A and B are shown apart, each in its own frame.
Chain A
Amino acid sequence: MNTVKLYLRSMQMLMKSQLQYPVSFLMQTLAQLVMEGGEFMAVLLIVDRFDHLNQWTPGNLYFFFGMMSVTFYLTEIFGRGITGNFPSLVRTGQLDTLLLRPRGIVTQVLCSAVDPRRVACVAVGVAALILGSRQSAVQWTTGKALAMAEAILFGVLLILGLFLIEAIFCIHSVKSIELVNAITYGGRSACQYPVDIFPRPLRLLFTIAAPFALTLHVPSAYILGKPLYGWPAWTAFVSPAAGGVLFLMLYLLFARAMRYYRSTGS
């Protein structure tokens, strides 16, 4: 519990420091809005030209887009330490200071950064979700709300887990590996769309290796009333846990990798 308190306290302090430069903050937030707005515009334009994507109506597509951007950018806001800062911590040797303190490394790294600018992206995602659920005429029930909350929660863990892969590479090779972006940012780009539109290899990749489909798409499809792969409804409550499992596995691997950490010095 103490850890949670520590994290919340750090977030509070970091937010305060970020807001010290309001104009700069506003500009950057606006830039984020342009970025995510551009991504969403692409979906709107696609719908304008193609009407639908296999079984998915425009409203469904907005919903999938919204689920991904809310989840991904919530992770970027609250997990900035892992999604953005870790490579520089290793390169500059700042990670050494964290080793001296009586708390876990992942906790401390998470406490080291926050990125409130991404709130603009989350806002675009929320707008897409509202638009999507309206146009798809979703009948909200407690079950569906629960499925959505669960999907977002485990989705955040999944994305954190995927970024831990980069952190692990970083510990071994110091330099951050652009390659890992394929799975994190590539996963985001691909899984803005329901996974069943992709050819088999990509589908398998995003269902098993980086289980965006299990974590986000199965519950989303359940909420939209069009079960993915024709799976029964209860799977929407079980399959998101895949995100948690992946995070746990990578967390353990990360802890192992830390044993081989060698400071870059200076």
Chain B
Amino acid sequence: MMKAYLSAFRMRWKMELQYRGAVVGGFVCQVFFGLILVSLYRALYAGKPQSLPIESVTTYVWLQQAFFRMILSSDPDLANRIRTGDIAYDLCRPLQLYGYYYARILAQKLLGSLLRAAPMLVFAACLPRGWGLVLPASLPALAVALLGLVLGLLCVCTLENITVGITMRTLDPRGVQAMLNLLMTTLSGNILPLTLFPDSWQKAITLLPYAQLLDAPIRLYSGQYALAQAPRALLVQAVWTVILLGLGLLLWQKNQKRLIVQGG
């Protein structure tokens, strides 16, 4: 049974590998955005230094840029299948639909971000101090950050599947999906690092599911979550992943019972 999901994952992986040209273009674009943001924060810091060192902010920016595709990429095929009714074919497969699409989106997000993250991290690490990426707080910090990144990836896929579940109902991916995605860019720290949000908001905002995707791993990496706090941070991530997985499964099962297949 597991084999089927694995091959769905592998197929998607191979497909993603086809677009290497887009990867180069995307890389340059992302670097440029990163440089703009870093320049902006440097100018702001020049006016009023903060307790949080500038190196942490630039590291935050580059890690966000590196794993951008993990946050913002969805499966356009799926929205089309729902709209055209091709999803009927998927329903015929002897698979659990949720798992099938989970495997696909996981492959897409994993490869999409790996292909982009590797060159980006190398590039950012070569920038001078105060501009680029600094080393992790410690080796154990790097280890827990990687663990957090895996959990973040699992979590973002459950969120994605909920969005798709809603699309199955509304049929139009542009309304709800767009809104959820945009909420995600703000609340996951892509537009402005969550560490720069007002201090009084930090408690609430880091508990939201969106902060579990990249913000938590980044804070683990740069030591803003000390090692002693790491188990708690990872637990919050895991709890959200399980909750969202449950919600998603429930939504999909309900949808499948009342799914109207479009087209003909």
Q: Does B203 contact A (CB under 8 A)?
A: no
Q: Does B228 contact A (CB under 8 A)?
A: no
Q: Does B185 contact A (CB under 8 A)?
A: yes
Q: Which residue of A lies closest to B185 (CB)?
A: A38
Which residues of chain B are within 8 angstroms of A181 by Cβ–Cβ distance? Answer: 29
Interface residues of B in 126-182 (CB under 8 A from A): 172, 174-176, 178-179, 182
Q: Which listed residue, A27, A53, A202, touches B44 by the CB 8 Å rule?
A: A53
- Interface residues of chain A: helix, strand, loop or mixed (majority): helix
Expressed in whole angstroms, the minimum distance between the Cβ of B33 and any Cβ of chain A is 6
Q: Which listed residue, A30, A53, A54, A182, touches B32 by the CB 8 Å rule?
A: A182
Q: Does B36 contact A (CB under 8 A)?
A: yes
* 0/1 string, A16-43, CB within 8 A of B gives 1: 0000000010011011001100110110
Q: Does B229 contact A (CB under 8 A)?
A: no
* 0/1 string, A126-168, CB within 8 A of B gives 1: 0000000000000000000000000000000000000000000
For the complex, give the distance between the alpha carbons of A198 and B183 in Å: 28
Q: Does A179 contact B (CB under 8 A)?
A: yes
For the complex, give the distance between the alpha carbons of A160 and B214 in Å: 35
Q: Which listed residue, A27, A182, A193, touches B29 by the CB 8 Å rule?
A: A182
Q: Does A45 contact B (CB under 8 A)?
A: yes
Of B59-67, B70-78, B192-200, the stretch lying at the interface with chain A is B192-200
Which residues of chain B are within 8 angstroms of A199 by Cβ–Cβ distance? Answer: 39
Q: Does A50 contact B (CB under 8 A)?
A: yes
Q: Which residue of A lies closest to B40 (CB)?
A: A193
For this complex, into which size category does the number of interface residues on chain B fall?
20 to 34
For the complex, give the distance between the alpha carbons of A214 and B28 in Å: 25
For the complex, give the distance between the alpha carbons of A38 and B186 in Å: 6
Q: Does A209 contact B (CB under 8 A)?
A: no
Q: Which residue of A lies closest to B179 (CB)?
A: A31
Q: Is the CB of B179 within 8 A of A198?
A: no
Q: Which residue of A lies closest to B32 (CB)?
A: A182
Expressed in whole angstroms, the minimum distance between the Cβ of B146 and any Cβ of chain A is 28
Which residues of chain A are within 8 angstroms of B191 by Cβ–Cβ distance? Answer: 38-39, 42
Expressed in whole angstroms, the minimum distance between the Cβ of B131 and any Cβ of chain A is 10
Pairs of residues from A and B, 10 with the lowest C-beta to C-beta distance, nearest first: A27-B175, A178-B25, A38-B186, A31-B178, A197-B43, A179-B25, A31-B179, A42-B192, A182-B32, A35-B182
24 contacts between A and B (CB under 8 A): A24-B174, A27-B172, A27-B175, A28-B178, A30-B175, A30-B179, A31-B175, A34-B179, A35-B178, A35-B185, A39-B191, A45-B198, A48-B198, A49-B198, A50-B47, A52-B47, A178-B22, A178-B25, A182-B29, A190-B36, A193-B40, A197-B39, A197-B40, A202-B39
Q: A190-B36, A198-B40, A202-B39 are in contact. List 9 more A-B contacts (CB 8 A).
A: A30-B175, A31-B182, A34-B182, A46-B196, A52-B48, A178-B29, A186-B36, A189-B33, A189-B36
